[in-house]
Amino acid sequence: MQKQEAQKRIVQLRQKIREANQAYFNENREIIPESVRDQLKQELIQLETQFPDLVTPDSPTQRVGAPLSNKLPKVTHRSRRYSLSDVFDPDELREFDERVKRFLKHDTIEYSCELKIDGINITLWYEDGRLVRALTRGDGITGEDVTHTIRTCENLPLNLPEKVNLEVSGECFIAKKDFEKIQNQDRSSNEKTGFEGESKFANPRNLAAGSVRQLDPKIAAQRKLRIFLYESYQKNQDSNSTLSEFESKKIQNQKELFALFDKLGLPHEKEFEVFSDIEQVISFCQKWSVKPRREKLWYEIDGIVVKVHDFGLRRRLGYTAKTAKYAIAWKFPAEEKYTKLLDIHFQVGRTGAITPVGILEPVEISGSTVSRATLHNKSEIERKGVMIGDQVIVRKAGEIIPEILEPLSDLRTGDEKKIIFPAQCPECGTKLDFEEIVVRCDNPECPARHRESLYYFANILKIDGLGPKTIDALLELELIKTPADLWKLKPLDLATLPGFKNKKIMNLISSLEKRKKLRLDEIFLGLGIRFVGGENAKLLADYFRSHFGECSFSRLNTFFVQLKIEDLLSIDGIGPQVAESFVEFVHREATQKLLQEFESVGLEILWEEKSAENQIFSGQKFVITGSFDRFSRDELKKIIGDHGGKILSAVSGNVDILLTGENPGSKLRKAEELDIDIWNEQKIREKLGMQNEEKTTLF
C-alpha cells in the first residue's frame, strides 16, 4: 500500500475504532462485535508500524506510552482533594441532613444521589481541551502521576470537542466481565502481561488500583481500565484549573455538570437522581443496598454518594481538613455468606481472655477467603445457640474482622455437637475464671499470655522486622523470655532465624539500639497491664513524673513497692478498677525483676518535660467525641495532654470542654444540657496557632 492510500485508510480506521469504543465503553452496547473491533485495531497498528511518520498522539494505538524507568513521580494537586465521611444506617443520614439544614438555615435541601464506583480516585487536567495530566488522590495534596496508564482508558477522550481548561475527578475501575476474564487468564505464560506469578486478584478495585500504578502502560492497556467522572473543581483565582468563564457561569448544580460532561464527551455514571427530601434519599440508598439489584450492574459499587445538589450551597458548607461537609457516603452492609462450622478453638489473649474462634469451611467474603471467625465469648455462644457442625452465617464486621452471626438451625442434620467451654486454660491447664462475661486464665505465667504480651510489646516499639513471626522464632529458639531480652540479642542470634540475612539483622539491631529510651507511658502500655490503655498510661506516667521527678528503673521499683490503690485514686480519670489492676501488676515479683532487667540492658526512661509556656490547656478537662479529619482521636488526646489538659471518658459536671467531630452522638446533647463549652477541631487549631489550609471551591 502506497503512503497516500495508507494515510486515508488510517483516518478511516481511527474514526471507526473511536465510534466503536464510544458505544462499547460509554453506552454499554456493541455497534460491531468485539472481535471485529480488535481486528480493526490490529490493522491500524500494522499500518502505523509501516508508516511511522503517520502516527499522531491522539491515535487509539497511542494510548499506550513508553514504560517509566523509575517509580511514579509525585505531583501537587492544583486544588485539594477530600474524602467522604461514611454512614451505615438511616439515622446517620438524617443527622447529616439536620447538620446541613442547621448550618444553611434552610428548611428544604435538594440532594443528588450517585452510585459510588468501587475503584481508584483519579484527577484529570485538561488544557485547551487536551488531556495533559492524570493523578491519583494520594494524600489529598500530592498525588502520583499516572497519566501514562490513564491514557489507556478507552472510554476517556484524550481531546475534548472544545478548548477548555478543566480539572475533573472520578473513579477508575474495571468492568465485572473484564475482571472475570483476567481472573481466568493463564498466569504461567511467558508473555509480557503483568500476570506472571500472580495469584488471582481479590476484587476488581484492587486490580484497577494495581493496573493504574503499573510502570508499563501496555500492561494497564491489557486490563481494560475505564473511568467515570463526577466532579469538577476550580481553585480560587486560578483560571487555569477550571472551565472557561462562559461555561462556569452556567454550572449551578450536579445535574448541569453532568450535562456539560455529556456535551464534552466525558464519561459519567448514569444512575443519578435528585431528591428534595432525606427520606427519599434513604429509600434510594436502601433500594441499592439489596445485593441482587447491584449484581445486575456491569461494574462494582460499594455505596451511594449523597451530595447537596446546589453548588452555591456546597461552597457555603465547605470542608473539614479531610472531608467535604456537603457530601456523605452511604456504605452497604457488610457481605454475609453461610458456611459450615467445623470446630471451635479457644484462643488465649495477653490479658488471659479466652476467645472462642470458629474454624470454618473456607468461604469467599468481600474478596478474601475466610476460614476463621470469632464468637466473642461464652455468653455469645449461648445466646446464639451455635453448635459445631452448624451452617452459620458469617460476615466481615466493618469489612475486616470475620464474625459468626447465627446458625441456620433449620438446616441441622442431627450430627451437630454442643460447644463445651473448657474448664481449664487450653495452654497451661489453669482453672479458668468464669466470674466475668469474658472467661479468663489468671495465670500470669501462661505461655500463651506470655507470647501475646511479647507481640504487644513489640508492636508498641514499632520496629520493622519485629513482628509475630520473628517473636515466635525467637521464643522457639529460647533466645528471649522477657521484653528486656530483645536488647540482649546479638547478630549471631538473629542469624539463626529464618529469612534473616545480614542487612535485616543489622537493621533490627540498629532499630533496637535507637529505642533504648522509652517514655514511661509507652512502658506501661507495652507491659499490657489490664485496663491500662493509652490514655490511662499517660495519666499514670504524669502522676509518677510529678510526684517523683526523673528517676531510674531501680528508683521507680522502690516507689512501686510502696504504692497503694488509694494513691492512684487521687488521679483525676483513674478509677478503682484501673488502680487495683495497676497496683497488683507492679507489686508482682516478675514486674520488679523485669524493670531491673530493663536497666541492666541499658534502657532509660524518657521523661518529657512540659514547658510552662506551652500549657495552654492547663487544668482544663476534656471529653472527646465523634470522628475528626485532620487528627486521629489518639493524636488529639496527645496534643491536649502535652499542653496541660486532661482527658475524661464521660460527660459530667466535672468536664470543662467537649471536643466534637462528625457524628458526636449523645455526648453532645448531654454537654448542651450541662452548658459545657463545645469546641470543634478548628477551635483546637486556633488555640494552637495553626494556620488554616487553603480551601478550594467547587462550582
Strands 86-87, 327-331: pairing kind: parallel
Q: Report which of residues 277 and 45 the model is more confident about.
A: 277
- The whole-number average pLDDT for the span 373-395 is 90
- The whole-number average pLDDT for the span 118-131 is 92
Q: φ, ψ for residue 165 (rounded to 5)?
A: -95, 125
C-alpha cell at 574: 483513674
* CA gap 694, 611 in Å, rounded: 31
- Ranking 222-226, 346-350, 471-475, 606-610 by mean pLDDT, the lowest is 606-610
pLDDT number for residue 201: 66
Q: 3-state secondary structure string, 522-563?
A: HHHHHCCCCCCCHHHHHHHHHHHHHHHCCCCHHHHHHHHHHC
pLDDT number for residue 191: 43
* CA gap 163, 413 in Å, rounded: 70
Nearest residue to 621 via CA among 644, 638, 600: 644
* CA gap 303, 307 in Å, rounded: 13
How long a stretch of residues is the chain?
A: 699
* CA gap 349, 448 in Å, rounded: 7
DSSP state, residue 226: E
CATH code for the domain defined by 336-418:
2.40.50.140
77-86, 334-343, 490-499, 619-628: which is most confident: 490-499
Cβ–Cβ contacts within 10 Å for residue 229, how many?
22
With H, G, I as helix, E, B as strand and everything else as coil, classify residue 87.
Answer: strand
The partner residues of 330 in beta bridges, in order of sequence, read 87, 304
Q: Give tens-digit pLDDT for 27-74.
A: 434 566 544 666 677 778 788 888 988 888 777 776 533 333 356 889
86-331 matches 336-418 in fold: no
CATH code for the domain defined by 86-331:
3.30.470.30
- The whole-number average pLDDT for the span 665-674 is 84
Q: Give tens-digit pLDDT for 351-364.
A: 899 999 999 999 87
pLDDT number for residue 470: 94
Q: 3-state secondary structure string, 587-601?
A: CCHHHHHHHHHHHHC
The CATH number of 447-515, from 1.10.150.20, 3.30.750.80, 3.40.50.970, 3.40.50.150, is: 1.10.150.20
Residue tagged 456535551 (cell numbers): 263
For the chain, the domains span 3-63, 86-331, 336-418, 447-515, 519-606, 612-687
- The whole-number average pLDDT for the span 664-682 is 85
pLDDT number for residue 35: 44
For residue 639, pLDDT beyond 90: no
Which helix (H) or strand (E) segment holds residue 448: the answer is: helix 447-461
Query: Mean pLDDT, the chain, as a whole number?
Result: 83
HSE-CB for 621 with a 13 A CA cutoff: 15
Q: Give tens-digit pLDDT for 463-478.
A: 888 989 999 999 999 9
For residue 235, pLDDT beyond 60: no
pLDDT number for residue 637: 83
Q: φ, ψ for residue 196 (rounded to 5)?
A: -55, 125
For residue 196, pLDDT beyond 70: no
CA 83 to chain centre: 11
- The whole-number average pLDDT for the span 70-91 is 83
CA angle, 402 as apex, 399 and 403 as ends, to 5°?
120
Q: Give tens-digit pLDDT for 419-446.
A: 999 999 999 999 998 988 889 998 988 9
pLDDT number for residue 193: 47
pLDDT number for residue 388: 96
For residue 484, pLDDT beyond 70: yes
pLDDT number for residue 200: 58
pLDDT number for residue 190: 39
116 belongs to the catalytic site: yes
pLDDT number for residue 219: 87
Q: Give tens-digit pLDDT for 397-407.
A: 544 568 888 88
- The whole-number average pLDDT for the span 270-280 is 93
Determine contact, residues 619/643, Cβ cutoff 8 Å: no
- The whole-number average pLDDT for the span 623-630 is 80
- The whole-number average pLDDT for the span 2-11 is 88
Determine contact, residues 657/622, Cβ cutoff 8 Å: yes
Tell me if the domain spanning 612-687 has CATH number 1.10.357.10. Answer: no
- The whole-number average pLDDT for the span 104-131 is 93
Confidence of residue 243 (pLDDT cuts 50, 70, 90): very low
CATH code for the domain defined by 3-63:
1.10.287.610
Confidence of residue 304 (pLDDT cuts 50, 70, 90): very high
Determine contact, residues 281/275, Cβ cutoff 8 Å: yes
For residue 485, pLDDT beyond 70: yes
Considering the chain, what percentage of its residues have pLDDT values greater than 90?
A: 40
- Superfamily assignment of 519-606 in CATH? 5' to 3' exonuclease, C-terminal subdomain (1.10.150.20)
Q: Give tens-digit pLDDT for 127-168.
A: 999 999 999 988 788 889 999 999 999 899 999 999 889 999
Determine contact, residues 41/20, Cβ cutoff 8 Å: no
Q: Give tens-digit pLDDT for 505-557.
A: 999 999 999 999 999 988 998 888 888 888 788 889 888 888 877 788 988 88
- The whole-number average pLDDT for the span 21-27 is 51
For residue 192, pLDDT beyond 50: no
Catalytic one of 116, 331, 637, 667? 116
Q: Report which of residues 591 and 629 the model is more confident about.
A: 591
